[in-house]
Every structure is written in C-alpha cells, then in structure tokens.
C-alpha cells in the first residue's frame, strides 16, 4: 500500500467531490452560509472575483454600445401572466410578496398585515418588466437598437442549494436589447456569446463548448438559446453563460411596436443574456485541487503575496523594508491594464501562513528571508505547481518578468483544463455503450466514467426525454456552425444528420 499524501483539504476530490467543494469554499474564505435558507454571504476574497468579472464584462459591453440601467426587484404578477411560456418556466421558483406591513399578532409576535391588491414576484428574471419600459422608450426605427444591461440580484426559490452553483438568491447581470430586424438581433446574440467565451477562456482559464440548446433546454419564451458549457473535474457539465434570441415573443406580449423607415408598423426583435456568480463555482471546480482553491491571475483579488521571514529580531526591520520596497516596485507594474495587487503577510505564524495562501489560491507566493535579501533574491512558489516546487529568482528578474510569469500560470491552467476536457470527451454510436457509460453503478472502467459524449440525435424530443428520465443526462449543446454528419440516433436508431453533446450537469 502506497504512502498516503497529506492534503490541506479533506475529503479529497476522489473521496467525496461535493464535500470537497464545500470545504474549499470554507478553507479559501470565499463565502459562508447565511441565516436565510439557500442564501450565502460572499466574503471579500470571493466578492473580489465577482468584481473582476463584472469589471471585465462591463468594459466589453460598453464597447459595443450597451448602457447600464436598473429596474425594480418587484414584478407585478400580471406582467408574468402576460407571457405564458415564460411564467411556466419560472413558476415553481418564484418568491411572492403578498403583504406590505407587519403588525403584532395575538401571541405577541409579528404577523403580515395589509394585503397587496396585486401580488409582487421577487425578480426571477426581468424580461417582462423591462419590456414594459421598452414599450415606452421605443416608437421609431431611430430608437433602435436599444441596448440595456443591469447588474442586479435575482431570487429563485431553489429546493436543493449549493453555494455559488445554485442558491435562492444570486448575483448576475442581465442584458436586454431591442432591434429593428431579426438579423440584427441574432448578430447581437452571437456577439455576446463570443464575449462570454472570451471571458471563460482568457480570464477564467476555463475551456468551454459554444453551442445552441435543444428545445427542451431552451430559455422559456425564447426562439433560440445559445450557451457556453464547461466540464468540471467530476466530469459534469456546467452551463456557464447563456444568450437568448427571443424573436418577437416578448415584443408581441408587451405590444412593443415601432415605425419603420417606410412608415410601416412592426414589432421589435429582442434578446436577453446573462452570466452569474455561478461562474465562481465553475472556477473552483475547474482549477481547484486537494490543497484548495487555484486562481487564474486575471481574476484573483491579488496576484502575489509577499511572505517576509525573520527569525532574528535584528533582521526584522531590514527584511520588512526590503519587502515593502519590493511591493512598491511590483504595484507600479500593470498587468492586463490594471496595476498588480500585492499582499504582504507580516504575521509570524511559520508554515501555517503559507498554507493559508495556498488554500486561498493566490497565484504567486514569494518568500523573503535573510539569505534571499543578502543575495537580492526572492523564493517563488506558483499555485499551479506543487507546494514544494519553488525557485529562487533575482529580484530584478522577478519584477521584469512578472507579467510573463503570470501569463504562463494562466496558460498552464487553461491547457490543463482543456486537456482534461478532451480526455473525457468521447464519441459513441452504440446505445448499450452509451447507457453503460452514464450508469452510476458502472465500475468496469472508472478512469473513463463520466464526461461529454458526442452522439447522434434524431431531433425527436421524446428521445431526449427518455434519455433524461433513464440516465439524468441531457443534451448540453448542439453546434452553432450547423455541421452535418449522417448517422443513427443513439436512442431510437432513426436517421440523424448531426451529433450533439450529452452529459450529466449541475
């Protein structure tokens, strides 16, 4: 029996992946459970990830003409009722306000009083209330396109919750646009999908598949839903972002018309799109290891922590001055258009201090002791490598190459995740193999069990439903490029002209 390797996180991913995930969040100080069922408190180290995601996205949205606004968190029930398909998709998750004040009850406690004339739904998504504003703002083709985004919170009353991945309240942005033509609306839909792909791969180092959803997985009320799908380390899929072409469905429900250049009356074409704090869950499960969180440099609150080591009182002031000087030098360096963020941990807690930063996932740990200072050097550890894999570097070399070093960490994380996705993506044409692969009891080849499977589908929703009922496996996406290939449906053996990606998902 081999020697058991001690890890900072227990259980390990292999032992209990869901519990490992919860322990990483706790150990890295990202978030904690709140007193409200299904909600969470996002702590500074975790909220910084969301801030950096929002900052990056906000710049990209504004570059294509999108402007920010804000709409009420309360939506009249009648607004949701006006779009039947839409409300059907969210009805079971809606939280509803029915009263507007509290009064002392007979038992001395507070009880709801003052029943509202019309119940108010706490925002599950904002299409209906934003369309009400669009109706007021749009009258002519000159008012189009109208490109609006809001940063907000959302409430969906989930029965089973997991921090970041599925909570009763979460943070997101939601973009909503109106256009004069279907072509312009679709162009915007795909442009946003490309931005999401860019965010996932070039900021979060998270490789994704980009595709269109089947009708069963489509956003309620949309003509088409496009998504990016990532593979987590338990080989399940995570829907990491969606962009919806809504056609004229919401425009007709809200009566949003405009006068064309030919002085004709027409309905607008609309889109909506969003990513949420679910991305942070995806980040954890894409890069985290058995020692904790692993953060790509572009999204981390700080890229570097300096760890001064002074075992003799007479060395303390000199080492601290050296450390402060290095921090000042590093903070003058810009990394992808923002100054480097540098932490200095002055605590005298020995090895425990370094392990705290490993668990928090900071990209670079830099130790500075008397010998390092005497040699004008630093001792550098990368979070994408083992905790014992550290190298000595001259101070000037470290500062001059810090951007390249951080970019190499990003590339290493992205390539590692991309290789993992490729390794666990399979093509299957035999139904028995397909069912065996996705059956939890299958232990014949545990090293390949689970992942993405590219198989033929005839397009019949009944086949999709049967696979979901039998295996809890869904179609994650279909190619947006329309590639064709003759084959037989993995479920019913009927003729098929394309492969789709099947997987278990969050």
Alpha carbon dihedral 468, 232, 193, 171, in 10-degree steps, equals 100
Q: Which CATH class is domain 426-441+449-503?
A: alpha beta
CA distance 224 to 100: 38
* Those residues with Cβ within 8 angstroms of residue 67's Cβ, 6 or more apart along the chain or in another chain: 147, 148, 149
Lowest-confidence region among 84-93, 110-119, 160-169? 84-93
The predicted structure's pLDDT at residue 136: 98
Q: Where are the alpha helices (DSSP H) in 28-83?
A: 44-63, 77-81
Q: Which CATH architecture has domain 17-287?
A: 2-Layer Sandwich (3.30)
Beta pairing class for 304-308 and 364-368: parallel
Beta pairing class for 342-344 and 304-308: parallel
| Phi, psi (rounded to 5 degrees) for 308 | -70, 140
Q: What is the pLDDT of residues 452-491, one digit of tens each?
A: 999 999 999 999 999 999 999 999 999 877 789 999 999 9
Q: What is the pLDDT of residues 65-77, one digit of tens each?
A: 999 999 999 999 9
Q: What is the pLDDT of residues 397-434, one digit of tens each?
A: 999 999 999 999 999 999 999 999 999 999 999 999 99
Q: What is the pTM of this model?
A: 0.95
Q: Can you tell me which residue has the tokens 């209906």? A: 128
Q: What is the pLDDT of residues 168-206, one digit of tens each?
A: 999 999 999 999 999 999 999 999 999 999 999 999 999
In 3D space, the residue among 470, 448, 447, 466 whose CA is nearest the CA of residue 457 turns out to be: 466
Average pLDDT, the chain: 94
Q: Tell me which DSSP letter residue 335 carries.
A: E
Looking at the DSSP assignment, which residues form a beta bridge with residue 273? 175, 243
Give mean pLDDT, residues 40-46. Answer: 98
Angle at 132 between CA 263 and CA 120, to 5 degrees: 165
Beta pairing class for 364-368 and 67-68: unpaired
| Phi, psi (rounded to 5 degrees) for 188 | -65, -40
Q: Are 409 and 297 in contact (CB under 8 A)?
A: yes
Sequence spans of domains, the chain: 17-287, 304-404, 426-441+449-503
What is the third-level CATH fold of 304-404?
Rossmann fold (3.40.50)
């Amino acid at each position: 029996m081999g020697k058991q390797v001690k890890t900072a996180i227990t259980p390990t991913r292999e032992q209990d992946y869901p519990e490992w995930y919860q322990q990483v969040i706790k150990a890295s100080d990202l978030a904690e459970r709140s007193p409200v069922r299904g909600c969470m408190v996002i702590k500074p180290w975790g909220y910084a990830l969301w801030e950096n995601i929002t900052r990056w996205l906000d710049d990209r949205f504004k570059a294509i003409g999108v402007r920010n606004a804000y709409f009420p968190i309360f939506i009249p029930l009648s607004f949701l009722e006006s779009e039947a398909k839409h409300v059907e998709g969210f009805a079971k998750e809606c939280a509803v306000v029915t009263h507007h004040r509290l009064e002392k009850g007979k038992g001395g406690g507070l009880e709801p009083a003052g029943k509202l004339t019309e119940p108010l739904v706490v925002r599950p998504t904002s299409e209906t209330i934003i369309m009400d504003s669009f109706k007021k703002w749009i009258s002519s083709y000159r008012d189009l396109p109208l490109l609006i985004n809001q940063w907000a919170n959302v409430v969906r009353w989930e029965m089973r919750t997991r921090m970041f991945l599925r909570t009763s309240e979460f943070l997101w942005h939601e973009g909503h646009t109106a256009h004069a033509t279907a072509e312009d609306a679709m162009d915007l839909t795909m442009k946003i999908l490309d931005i999401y792909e860019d965010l996932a791969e070039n900021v979060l180092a998270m490789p994704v598949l980009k595709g269109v959803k089947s009708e069963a997985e489509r956003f309620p009320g949309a003509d088409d839903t496009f998504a990016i799908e990532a593979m987590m380390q338990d080989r399940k899929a995570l829907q990491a972002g969606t962009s919806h072409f809504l056609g004229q469905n919401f425009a007709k429900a809200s009566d949003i018309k405009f006068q064309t250049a030919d002085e004709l009356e027409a309905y607008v074409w609309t889109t909506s799109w969003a990513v949420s704090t679910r991305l942070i869950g995806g980040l954890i499960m894409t890069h985290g290891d058995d020692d904790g969180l692993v953060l790509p440099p572009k999204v981390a609150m700080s890229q570097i922590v300096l760890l001064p080591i002074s075992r003799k009182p007479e060395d303390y002031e000199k080492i601290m001055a050296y450390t402060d000087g290095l921090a000042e030098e590093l903070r003058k360096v810009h990394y992808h258009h923002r100054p480097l963020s540098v932490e200095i941990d002055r605590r005298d807690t020995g090895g425990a201090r370094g392990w705290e930063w490993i668990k928090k996932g900071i990209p670079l740990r830099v130790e500075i002791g008397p010998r390092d200072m005497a040699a004008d050097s630093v001792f550098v550890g990368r979070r994408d490598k083992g905790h014992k894999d550290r190298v000595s570097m001259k101070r000037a070399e470290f500062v001059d190459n810090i951007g390249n070093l951080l970019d190499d960490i990003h590339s290493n994380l992205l390539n590692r995740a991309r290789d993992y996705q490729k390794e666990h993506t399979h093509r299957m044409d035999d139904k028995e193999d397909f069912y065996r692969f996705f059956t939890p009891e299958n232990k014949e080849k545990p090293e390949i069990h689970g992942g993405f499977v590219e198989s033929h589908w005839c397009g019949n929703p009944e086949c999709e439903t049967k696979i979901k009922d039998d295996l809890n496996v869904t179609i994650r996406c279909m190619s947006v490029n329309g590639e064709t290939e003759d084959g037989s449906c993995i479920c019913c053996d009927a003729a098929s002209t394309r492969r789709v990606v099947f997987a278990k998902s969050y």
